[in-house]
Structure 1
Amino acid sequence: MLKRDTSDIFRQRLLALIERSGLSRAQFAARAGLDRSTLSQLLSDVNVRLPRTETIARIAARHTVSIDWLLGLSQQDQVAADIVSQMAIEPDAGSPADERLLAWHEEARGFKVRYVPATLPDQVKTEAVIAHETGRLEATAAKAWAGIARARIMHAKRTEHEIEVCSPLQGLEGFARGEGIWRGLEAAERLAQLEQAAGLVEELYPAYRWFLFDNRERFSVPYTVFGPMRAALYVGDMYFVFTSTEHIRELSRHFDNLIRHARIQPNETGNYIRSLMKDVQ
């Protein structure tokens, strides 16, 4: 980022912080330990220099925002990192984590959401597969979880919203054969899941694009990038959520690399899924 860009972002965010505080510029300067003339200089359009480090730190500390946000290195102004619990659906009660996840999708409307699922993409799962996959959920809870997945599909159907999914083709192949965690799931349910997934990816294309890579060539942990706003890394019983611009950029680069090496392109995914139905026994 150029120095001029950084100073412009700092000035814009400082102005936003002053407006949000409800204070006059004189009051804001006093709280931050600045002279009124110093604050005026920081807000000047002709000023291309950033203030001293201690001045930025003082503004951030007195007004409870992060230095990274003031300098445009983060999209969120909170000082602390954001860690939330794993999605967990209870009958007749919405999970706070689910509500947060849906809010992140809503927040990213108009931007591209990029998603590496832990198993199959949530958006295409049947209720029977959700119930089998979790193991611990009763039918009512599985139905609630499926409702959340369908809500995400509604996001993909909006013309201003795009979702890209990238996962290993071996995961789908193992699902069709009933291997691993899918052992014990009835063949009829696996066939129904494959048919539903194939139909949805064709119906939603190009707003919803599912790439398949070879797990022998590439590897990825589950994560989601919600446009430029945040990225969530799934670690089994919680999400680690990043709002740093650099973290989001690096995870986006990783996703780009998965796409570049994808063996199955989104316009081929529906047919590929149907080709696996012959392996279901």
Structure 2
Amino acid sequence: MAQAGTNQSALARDIGVDRSTVSQLVSGSGARLPNGQVVAECARALGVSADWLLGLSDRPESAARIVANAFRITEAPRALVDQQIFDWHLEADGYKIRYVPPALPDMLKTREVLDWEYTPHLGRTAEQAINASEERLEWMRDSASDYEISLPMFELASFAGGTGYYAGLPRDLRQAQLARLQRLAAQLYPRMRICLFDARRLYSAPLTIFGPLQAVIYLGSNYLAFRDTERVRAITRHFDHLVREAAVPARALGDHIETLLQEM
């Protein structure tokens, strides 16, 4: 009643019972539980779930609202700095962030690679976005969160070879990028750990897990965001399996990148 800004008299009028009935419910002095209609009407009037009123759930939201909050589809713009993703990072500050990026993580890229990748799509706004991306890296350095990143091995191999998505990216930019990735991985370890999994054995869609709060799967033009505990746990187990089965664990990433550089 306090949350809804109401009182016993007003609630009694809303649900069509005597004030004494509400008083008994609040005081716990009634000999019997209220009937189903009274419970349902109380839940409707107060904007909560009947299960919560009866002590059967620790979630006060209605069932419809729980379902709505448990799963959302949000827009994923083609941009270096996605405000929605950053807001989710701020919300989860202090929790472990698990990340399977769709490509090399933007915040770990050199300005030259970002410019090559985004200027054709963003035009003159790319410079502003690149500056903001660097600010996000600095924010990550000071964040209370640990970051665990899992990439498929072929992503770095394709980058080093300038094939697939990275076709046309000059070799000197690729070499500088790999050296930067190697340097940042060493500097930020163990707060940031990057491992590589073998996509011939394992598969993962791009996703981010914000501690126990939320898991987000990236579709390209949209995010699928899950907040219910069971789905978050299931996606977390999937990510942890990628780490356990990593072909290149975080401690060996530097040596792996060094091998790629020598082959280049």
| TM exceeding 0.5 | yes
Q: Out of 24, 27, 35, which is 2:22 matched to?
A: 35
State the secondary structure of the residue aligned to 1:272: helix
Residue in 1 that maps onto 2:259: 275
CA distance in 2, matches of 1:55, 1:170: 61
Distance 1:129 1:211, change over 3 A: same
2: CA distance between counterparts of 1:258 and 1:127? 29
Deviation at 1:187, TM superposition (A): 0.6
Counterpart-to-counterpart distance in 1, 2:123 and 2:130: 10
Alignment TM-score, normalising by the size of structure 2? 0.78
| 8 Å contact from structure 1 (residues 75, 244) kept in 2 | no
Task: Return the alpha-carbon distance in structure 2 between the equivalents of residues 205 and 277 of structure 1.
Answer: 21
Shift of 1:265: 1.8
User: TM-score, normalising length from structure 1?
Assistant: 0.74
Give the gaps of 5 or more residues in structure 2: 29-33
> Identity percentage over the alignment?
33
Q: Per-residue deviation at 1:103?
A: 1.0
| Equivalent residue, structure 2, for 1:146 | 130
Match of 1:157 among 141, 151, 158: 141
What is the match of residue 234 of structure 1? 218
**Equivalent residue number for residue 85 of structure 2:** 101
| Amino acid in structure 1 at the alignment position of 2:75 | S
Which residue is equivalent to 2:176?
A: 192
Query: Cα–Cα, structure 1 residues 159 and 236, in superposed 2: closer, same or farther, change >3 Å?
Result: closer
Alpha-carbon distance, 1:185 to partner: 0.5
1:88 corresponds to 2:88: no
Question: What is the alpha-carbon distance in structure 2 between the residues aligned to residue 105 and residue 68 of structure 1?
Answer: 32
Answer yes or no: is the 8 Å Cα contact 1:166–1:259 preserved in 2.
yes
Alignment correspondent of 2:237: 253
d(CA) in 2 for partners of 1:161 and 1:82? 24
Q: CA deviation at 1:25?
A: 6.2
Higher Rg of the two aligned structures: 2
Assess, with a 3 A threshold, how the Cα gap between structure 1 residues 74 and 25 changes in structure 2: closer, same or farther.
Answer: closer
Cα displacement (A) at 1:139: 5.2
**Aligned-pair RMSD on alpha carbons?**
3.5
Match among 141, 154, 164 for residue 170 of structure 1: 154
Cα distance in 1 for partners of 2:52, 2:183 equals: 42
**Aligned residue in 2 for 1:23:** 6
Contact kept in structure 1, 2:157 and 2:260, CA below 8 Å: yes
CA contact (8 A) 2:75 2:223 kept: yes
